[in-house]
Amino acid sequence: MSNDSLDIGIRYIKGVGETREKLMIKLGIRTLRDLVGYFPRAYEDRTVIKDIGSLIIGESVCVRAMAADTPRLSHIRKGLDLVKLRAVDEHGSLEITFYNQPFVKDAIKKGDTYIFYGKISGSLLRPEMSNPVFEKELSLTHTGRIIPIYPLTAGLSQKMLMNAVRSGLDKCADELPDVLPDNIVRQYELCRARYAYENIHFPADMKELDIARRRLIFEELFVLVTAMKLLREKRVDKTGRSLTIPDFDEFYAMFPFEPTGAQKRAITEASQDMASSRPMNRLIQGDVGSGKTLIAAACCWMTWRSDSQSAFMAPTEILARQHYNSLSGLLEPLGMRVGLLTGSMTAKGKRETYERLNLGEIDLIIGTHALISESVGFKDLALVITDEQHRFGVNQRSMLTEKGDSPHVLVMSATPIPRTLALIIYGDLDVSIVDEMPPGRQKIQTHVVDENYRKRVYDFIRKLVGEGRQVYVICPMVEEDDTFKSVKEYYETLSTKIFPDLRVELVHGKMPSKKKDAAMSAFADGEADILVATTVVEVGVDVHNAALIIIENADRFGLSQLHQLRGRVGRGEHESHCILFQTGVDVVKRTVPLTHKTDEPSPCLARLNVMKSTNDGFKIAEEDLRLRGPGDFFGSRQHGLPEMHIANFATDMLVLNQAQNAAENLLREDPELSSPKNRKLLEQIGRLFEINADKMN
Ligand code: ADP
Ligand code: MG
């Protein structure tokens, strides 16, 4: 791979020693390429230098002033040292205080003039500034200009990082990779890579910053969409298997309820796809509880009526079993043979299932990714359904379809993915949106509380259980961790100390699946009052009698995930509640839109309040995407998309459209990106998706 000089370690950068290298690696910066690609999260406009006579209280500004006296160091108490001095210009004087920075005493000399940057407090008659950034009047690296603000880690200061980036940029001068083809740069009026990198870090003014940002956002989105288009399986011109559309009224008659209009619409759309001569490629997107299972069942039934097999893949064992239970309950009475295949089955059980699948003795197989194992073969696989596809790896997705002869594909998602992101992840899928809830659903009452409410919350649990309801208690993780409640420990406390008289069960991801299932089934069958769980109950789990869900450390979760969790209750006729315990620690990494401000309020409370204000999964998803960016959207990159450094899918829609058009045009000209002029782009795609570019064609 070329551009070797960009791949050198940061140790070779001026001013970066062993200690700083370690700290920077914590931030994900290992190479020169990482360093120059480590973009500021915000900027401070320090271009305006004001005189002391025109200060405004509360404003952050630069002041040019002379140190009127020698700084005085006073030791107030252990852990509190103050350095104070007075600075003056011809219009007035400014009281300056440094907290716990004793070295400042010797850094500022009486009679010298400095630029101080900081927030003005005190009063207009006696203005003050605390802990300002300062430097000698003539140096102007940290004041008198727009200053980048980087995300930091303890031990690494803005100054250190800024200096490292400066040296890094100087070092790689003309070797910055310009991955965009020339004609695209011209057509979309973008600036050159060199200009963009320079000005994203050290813009002379806001206009230059905007030009740089636009180029880098375009580039990031362009590389992503080009990659997704390139990697997607090609489905053009394949002939599908045209199945016969049955009379669905016969099917609907099986249910104690009338399907919703949205369910019927989705079934009609899917059945028309399956009857056409092109393979179906459809996404069924509907909020939790909208009744997607019924739609899947209808498609499987249609496939069976045409004497073919269906496969249904779910992301976890628990979900696979639950789908198996509900689908076999629905379809076996109609004469279908439904099977289950999961990793935890005995070798003998698996072998038998393989055999029956091969012979066509199973009409619908439900399973985990055990279904893509090499040993699995079908007699005649005509329909593949994947639940929550974004939780499977990009390469796992097509492996099941390859077991059939261009089978129809149905993807179901309860994660209401904003349309922009859906387009990127799912490409050119047709979409059916299930935007209607089965009747009789009540709005789930959501409350955001802190520790002071704990006793009341426990009383509330007791009251509901007394009325015969069941309760979920969700904890973020299994590992011991002193800041966050370990689920096991918490379970012990709840079951032995707080509710010794109630039936409490525990389920978490690290349990053997037999125990997991036993606990889940106990809860589902009403044999447990409280289920303490990690997020394994996140999607799909369906217990109508559960009317309360408590989420501990709710700040730990993304909004969409909270919404999924909340969807575990309110599935029956009982009034339901969701209580979010807030710890006040904002641990979620945010993609902050660039601003001139530095004092942003903690968005943590605002985030949780979104949950209170709406039950609409799409709205929540948009908000989540806006606050966190797609990298975190599904948690731990389960969607297989690389992390975005600068683009924001929610706010950069316009650029995304342009990037999509550009990618389409380019791939029309050069479908495999084999032309030498697209070499750099191909390499960049390889790096992002960790694929060797030479192997891609
Ligand atoms: P999803 O998978 O979309 O989250 P499910 O398919 O699990 O939702 O359905 C949620 C619940 O609603 C199930 O208990 C199901 O039996 C019930 N249900 C589905 N469709 C209807 C309907 N049209 N009317 C009433 N209840 C329904
Ligand atoms: Mg479901």
562-611 per-position pLDDT tens digit: 888 898 888 878 899 999 998 754 433 333 333 333 333 345 567 788 88
**Phi-psi region at 237: left, alpha or beta (left = phi > 0; alpha = psi -120 to 50):** left
Residue nearest to atom 21 of ligand 1 (CA): 438
- Answer for the pair 98, 129: CB distance below 8 angstroms, yes or no: no
Q: What is the mean pLDDT of residues 300-310?
A: 97
Q: Which of 254, 287, 293 has most ligand 1 atoms within 8 Å of its beta carbon, as the pocket-test mutant?
A: 293
Residue nearest to atom 10 of ligand 1 (CA): 289
How does pLDDT run across 237-253, given as a tens digit for each residue? 567 789 999 999 999 99
pLDDT at 364: 98
Q: How far is the CA of 544 from the centre of ligand 1 (A)?
A: 10
Q: How far is the CA of 257 from the centre of ligand 1 (A)?
A: 10
Which ligand is nearest to the Cα of residue 434, counting in written order? 1
Residue nearest to atom 9 of ligand 1 (CA): 291
- Answer for the pair 1, 683: CB distance below 8 angstroms, yes or no: yes
Token output for 111: 């009679």
Please check the confidence at residue 332 and state whether its pLDDT lies above 50.
yes
Cα-based distances in Å from 67 to 73, 75, 95, 483: 15, 21, 10, 45
Strands 364-367 and 309-313: parallel
How does pLDDT run across 9-43, given as a tens digit for each residue? 888 888 888 888 888 888 889 989 899 989 998 88
Which ligand is nearest to the Cα of residue 617, counting in written order? 1
Q: What atom in ligand 1 is closest to the CA of residue 286?
A: 3
Please check the confidence at residue 673 and state whether its pLDDT lies above 80.
yes
Q: Which long-range contacts (CB under 8 A, 24 or more apart) does 526-529 make?
A: 526/470, 527/503, 528/470, 528/503, 528/504, 529/465, 529/470, 529/471, 529/499, 529/502, 529/503, 529/504
Q: How confident is the model at residue 391 (pLDDT cuts 50, 70, 90)?
A: low
Among 316, 611, 326, which residue's Cα sits nearest to residue 449? 611
Q: Which long-range contacts (CB under 8 A, 24 or more apart) does 163-167 make?
A: 163/15, 164/10, 164/13, 164/15, 164/16, 164/20, 164/24, 164/35, 165/35, 165/36, 165/38, 165/201, 166/201, 166/202, 167/13, 167/14, 167/15
Q: How far is the CA of 292 from the centre of ligand 2 (A)?
A: 6
Mean pLDDT over each residue of the chain, to the nearest integer: 84
Q: How far is the CA of 445 from the centre of ligand 1 (A)?
A: 20
Q: Which long-range contacts (CB under 8 A, 24 or more apart) does 453-459 make?
A: 454/581, 457/550, 457/579, 457/581, 458/498, 458/499
Measured over all CA atoms, what is the biggest interatomic distance in the chain, rounded to whole angstroms?
A: 95
Q: How many CB atoms lie within 10 A of CB 100?
A: 12
Q: How far is the CA of 541 from the centre of ligand 1 (A)?
A: 11
Q: Which of 264, 267, 288, 290 has most ligand 1 atoms within 8 Å of its beta carbon, as the pocket-test mutant?
A: 290
Q: How far is the CA of 411 from the centre of ligand 1 (A)?
A: 17
Q: What is the mean pLDDT of residues 320-332?
A: 90
Top-confidence residue, 250 or 688: 250
Q: How far is the CA of 266 from the centre of ligand 2 (A)?
A: 15
Q: How far is the CA of 315 from the centre of ligand 1 (A)?
A: 19
Q: What is the mean pLDDT of residues 344-361?
A: 95
Residue nearest to atom 15 of ligand 1 (CA): 291
Q: How far is the CA of 530 from the centre of ligand 2 (A)?
A: 22
Residue nearest to atom 13 of ligand 1 (CA): 291
How does pLDDT run across 408-441, given as a tens digit for each residue? 999 888 766 666 666 676 666 778 888 888 887 7
User: What percent of the chain lies above the pLDDT cut of 90?
Assistant: 40
Q: What atom in ligand 1 is closest to the CA of residue 258?
A: 23
Among 210, 220, 124, which residue's Cα sits nearest to residue 177? 220
Please check the confidence at residue 139 and state whether its pLDDT lies above 50.
yes
Q: Rounded to 5 degrees, what are φ and ψ at 491? A: -60, -45
Q: How confident is the model at residue 2 (pLDDT cuts 50, 70, 90)?
A: very low
Q: What is the mean pLDDT of residues 652-666?
A: 87
Which residues form ligand 1's pocket by a CB distance below 6 Å? 257, 259-260, 263, 286, 288-294, 414, 438, 540, 542, 571
Q: How far is the CA of 243 from the centre of ligand 1 (A)?
A: 26
List the strands of the sheet with 530-533, edge to edge.
445-449, 577-581, 546-551, 470-474, 530-533, 504-507
Token output for 644: 């975005």
pLDDT at 593: 34
How does pLDDT run across 525-558, given as a tens digit for each residue? 899 999 998 876 655 567 889 999 999 988 878 7
Which ligand is nearest to the Cα of residue 292, counting in written order? 1
Residue nearest to atom 27 of ligand 1 (CA): 438
Which ligand is nearest to the Cα of residue 327, counting in written order? 1
pTM: 0.60
How does pLDDT run across 604-613, given as a tens digit for each residue? 567 788 888 8
Top-confidence residue, 509 or 95: 95
Q: Which of 248, 252, 257 has most ligand 1 atoms within 8 Å of its beta carbon, as the pocket-test mutant?
A: 257
pLDDT at 597: 35
